[in-house]
Amino acid sequence: MKITEDRMNRLDKANELLSFIVKTDGDSSQPFFGIKEGEGQLVSGFFLINYKNQLRYIDPYTKESLSLHPLSKDLRRKCNEGGTGQAVIQQLGRFIMFGEQGHLNDYKEVWRMEYESTMKIRKKAKEIGFIDSIDYPHKRWGD
């Protein structure tokens, strides 16, 4: 698949969003889509296009290059993120390659972030064109 300027722009925006999530969640011992190294330096996972024009996700913990191909088992077997994080990675991959908007339905306080941090991330996702609305039904476990 040909790598266009639009795809490269979306790749940059997706990496910007991942970095923003890591910085927003930086106070936790293991931020989503990132890790703390050495003196607490935050390192974010990121997307790249390899020499075969394939979209890959670099896991920050394992440093492995993971395939986003629908038939690949890389994300399930090798990704440091859980199922919800893997779903966001897959959605961002589709955003990069095809311009499809994603959704952050599960990206709420259930990920241990407070409402304000969640909304910052949702605003950033809307800003880059990944989602079309920052709104979602606000509900906490047990409500």
Task: Return the structure tokens found at 136.
Answer: 């979602």
In a domain, 134, yes or no: no
Cα(46)–Cα(17) distance, integer angstroms: 10
In a domain, 120, yes or no: yes
Note whether 116 and 75 are within 8 A (CB): no
In a domain, 132, yes or no: no
Domain that holds residue 40: 5-127
In a domain, 118, yes or no: yes
- Digit-by-digit pLDDT tens for the chain (143 residues) are 677 899 999 999 999 999 998 888 767 666 777 777 877 788 888 999 988 888 999 988 888 888 887 767 676 666 666 666 778 888 899 999 999 998 776 555 445 677 788 888 889 999 999 988 887 655 554 54
In a domain, 57, yes or no: yes
In a domain, 137, yes or no: no
In a domain, 143, yes or no: no
Total-model pTM: 0.83
Number of domains in the chain: 1
